[in-house]
Amino acid sequence: MFGKWKKKKAASPIEIKAPLTGKAVPLSEVPDEAFAAGHMGQGIAIEPAEGRLVAPFDGTVAHVIKSKHAVMLEDAQTGLQYLFHIGINTVGLKGEGYTSHVNTGDQVKAGQVLIEFDMEAILNAGYPLITPIIVTNADELASKVEGRTGNVAAGQDVVLNVELKA
């Protein structure tokens, strides 16, 4: 009878740990308008300090881009999908400098290496290494996506807090 006056318990935000070691910066600092303006979705970016991208949570590999410079992971518990895009315009490298350790459909564990990349080769080819981390379906599932900036260690520091819609 009094159920309609009960306060709904707010869901605690989902914390996404850094998939890379480096410096987390706002998406607005990405030198690509599609990412910087949020056209690809909400998120954060990391200037990597080492050439290893790891899974920030247990999930499923939704897609590995053919040129191995990007991967999408899905969190089965929330349905949220994340894009990890190593570098800007790096599709032009056609996979050179990238080694993928996963395939579409693979189940991964937090901390598992997804992609290794040769930072020096990518920089020498003239591409920025900044790596956007995008919640691709945030508009559908999330009420809020908040990034944390500063130095981060892969698998240890939280870079995104995501609140799901009620």
Residues of the chain by 3-state class (helix, strand, coil), percent to 5: 15, 40, 45
Structure tokens that stand for 45 in this block: 């970016």
8 A C-beta contact, residue 110 and residue 55:
yes
Nearest to 18 by CA among 161, 165, 139, 156: 156
DSSP category for residue 27: G
Nearest to 86 by CA among 156, 135, 142, 30: 30
Query: What residues does 72 pair with on adjacent strands?
Result: 63, 83
Helix runs in the chain, H state only: 33-36, 119-124, 138-141
Catalytic residues: 85
Residue recorded with tokens 């991964």: 108
